[in-house]
Amino acid sequence: MGRDTGFGLWLTGLPAAGKTTLAEGLTEALSDQGHQVQILDSDALRSVLTPEPTYSAEERDWFYRVVAFIAGLLTENGTNVVIAATAHRRRYREYGRERIPRFAEIYVRCSVSVCIERDEKGTYEKAMTGEATTVPGLQVSYEPPESPAVVVDTELLSPERGVERIMEQLEQISILSAG
């Protein structure tokens, strides 16, 4: 691991838990501290990598390997990465941990009922009408992190306070000062 190696932060949680909102706020806070940061948002990546996603187990496995690979390349070249992706299986997030030496998993916790209320993309509605069949938290299980670096409960914390909590914890575990 060289001096210019970046870090990777994987924000995981149910769809509509607040991952993208936190990723955007976190990127702004990190940029304000002088860190070069790139967001890898699963929705944006899917529009390019799988424009007509099936969300099958095979496709998801491939997709999260690609996300981890891209994040690893960026961090190897000194760019810090914030990944906003449900990655409902622990093994998907392990791909990132294996590829990125300076890695932290951040659990964006929110109940399914609140996620359903917040769902602007219609993900849960599609699940309830049968149009979607593999929505994490409803039709497939979501495996929360076993020992995340940070837990942000978005039912209790505002996005601003969530970002503050993440920044505080990243300093405690030396993600921001390492390198």
Instruction: Name which of 162, 178, 175, 169 is nearest 28 in CA terms.
Output: 162
What was the pLDDT predicted at 112?
96
Is residue 137 a part of any domain in this protein?
Answer: yes
What was the pLDDT predicted at 87?
96
Is residue 41 a part of any domain in this protein?
Answer: yes
3-state secondary structure (DSSP) of residue 108: strand
Number of domains comprising the chain: 1
Is residue 131 a part of any domain in this protein?
Answer: yes
Is residue 43 a part of any domain in this protein?
Answer: yes
Query: Are 40 and 83 within 8 A, CB to CB?
Result: yes
| Alpha-carbon separation of residue 47 from 39, 62, 153 (angstroms) | 15, 15, 28
Is residue 164 a part of any domain in this protein?
Answer: yes
Query: Are 43 and 55 within 8 A, CB to CB?
Result: no
Query: Are 107 and 151 within 8 A, CB to CB?
Result: yes
Is residue 178 a part of any domain in this protein?
Answer: no
- Print the domain residue range for 137: 8-172
What was the pLDDT predicted at 11?
98
Question: pLDDT tens string for the chain (179 positions)?
Answer: 445 789 999 999 999 999 999 999 999 999 999 999 999 999 899 889 988 888 889 999 999 999 999 999 999 999 999 999 999 999 999 999 999 999 999 999 999 999 999 999 999 999 999 999 999 999 999 999 999 999 999 999 999 999 999 999 998 888 876 44
Query: Are 170 and 150 within 8 A, CB to CB?
Result: yes
CATH number at residue 58: 3.40.50.300
